[in-house]
Structure formats: C-alpha cells, structure tokens
Amino acid sequence: MADTSTLAIATNIFTSPNQAFAAIKERAPLLLPVLLLILSFSTVNVLYVSRVDMGWLIDQQLQTAGTTQLTAEQREQAVNAATRLPKAVYGVAGAVGTTLAVFLFLLIGALYYTGVSFATGDGVRLKQWFALSCWCTLPSMLGAVAQIVNLLVNDPRFMPSDAINPLSFGNVLSIDRTGVTILQRVLLNIDFTALWGIALSVLGYQAFTKSSIVKSAAVVLGPPVAIVLIWTLLALR
C-alpha cells in the first residue's frame, strides 16, 4: 500500500512517481503543492520587480507590445506615469496575477481530464485530477530556484523578463528573440522542468486510468499540440 503522507508524495514524485500517483489518487492532497506554487512564483515576481529598473522595463514592454503609434514623447509620459506607482504594487500584482494564471491553467486542465473521464467512464473525479495537475508541477520549483539564484547573483536592473530563467531553451541555446511572435516567445521560455512536468502528467494519467502510454500521451498532449497548430495556422494567414 502506498504511503499517502504529503512528505512521502513530495519525495516520490521525484523518485518513485507511480507510488506518488497511487497516493494522490487515494487522498488527493493539495496544500503542499499549492503553497509551494504560490511561494515560488511570488518570490520570483517580487524579487525581480524589486531589483529591475522599472522605467526601463515598462519602456521595453511598450516596445515589445508593438505600440508603434506612440511617439517618443507619449511613450516617455506613459513610462513616467507608470513609475509613479510603488514597486510593491507591481510586485504584488505580478505575484497574484501569475499565481491566478497558473491555477486557472491547472483547473482548466483538470476540467478537461474530468470531461475525458466522463466520456470514458474511468471514474476519476475533478479533485483527483486537480491534485495530480498540481503535484506534476513540482519540478517547476527547480526552475523557480534557478530564477531566484539568477536574480541574486546577477544585476537584474536591465534584465528582460524572458532572461530571468537561465534554464529556458531560449537562454540555454542563446536564441535571439528579436522579432519573434508571442507563440515563439512562449515556446522559447519553456525549460526542461516543464517537459518533466508533462512527462509526469502522461505517467499520472496512465496510472490513474490504467490506459496505455500511447493513449495517455495523446490525451495529455492533444490540447497543447492543437493550440500550437491552430495558432501557427492563424499566424500564416
């Protein structure tokens, strides 16, 4: 019988995933992964905002957003207006916004798996799928630690937001992001911990439903692959 304690699950998700999945399906604990997600994303956001040159960052964001209709004077006015707000406001807003976005993404994924469960009759409930989704993000904590170290040992005053994560494929491969699309920028910001999480999701789906690895991969990878294909087709029009 699998050890269902939270500490055992946290250890087994790295060392013995199948034991962790059995415990998650049985008990569906949420507190630890939720707290770790909030803490890691909040720390990265607050640390970055507290040390970056806010005027420079906002000017870069305006340029990246393609606000070419703004004159240099108008952009300067927008930057001055934005920098009047305390950095703490941006830090809290970024932390809350990122955390909510991540949990919304995880909830949508859990709802998707629940819909598949309803169609296939495998009996797995929403809470179980949501717990699995949260636990499978645990490797991303390693990415968060790498970002925190990067912000502490380097000077982030003029560091672009997509350079925070030293483990991202764009940074590891030194790929120039000039002129890239939003989709390409998102893909370049993916790191190996995200792929680790996807692999855990595939194995977790297989463990929960006793499906084949091929079916599990198709269910887990189907939506993101479809989104990338649709976005690519729209960009080519």
pLDDT digits (tens, 9 = 90+) for 76-124: 787 787 778 888 888 888 888 888 888 898 999 999 999 999 999 999 9
> Cβ contacts of residue 31 below 8 Å, gap of 6+?
6
Per the prediction, the chain carries an average pLDDT of 87
Q: What is the DSSP string of the chain?
A: -----HHHHHHHHHH-HHHHHHHHHHH---HHHHHHHHHHHHHHHHHHHHHS-HHHHHHHHHHHTT-TTS-HHHHHHHHHHHHTS-HHHHHHHHHHHHHHHHHHHHHHHHHHHHHHHHHHT----HHHHHHHHHHTTTTHHHHHHHHHHHHHHS--TT--GGGS-TTBHHHHTT---TT--HHHHHHHT-BHHHHHHHHHHHHHHHHHHT--HHHHHHHHHHHHHHHHHHHHHHHH-
Residue closest to 167 by CA, chosen among 58, 52, 44: 44
Six-digit token pair at 139? Answer: 């490797």
pTM over 0.75, yes/no: yes
pLDDT value for 67: 53
pLDDT value for 92: 85
Question: Tell me: the pLDDT tens digits for 155-208?
Answer: 999 888 888 999 998 888 888 777 777 767 777 888 899 999 999 999 999 999
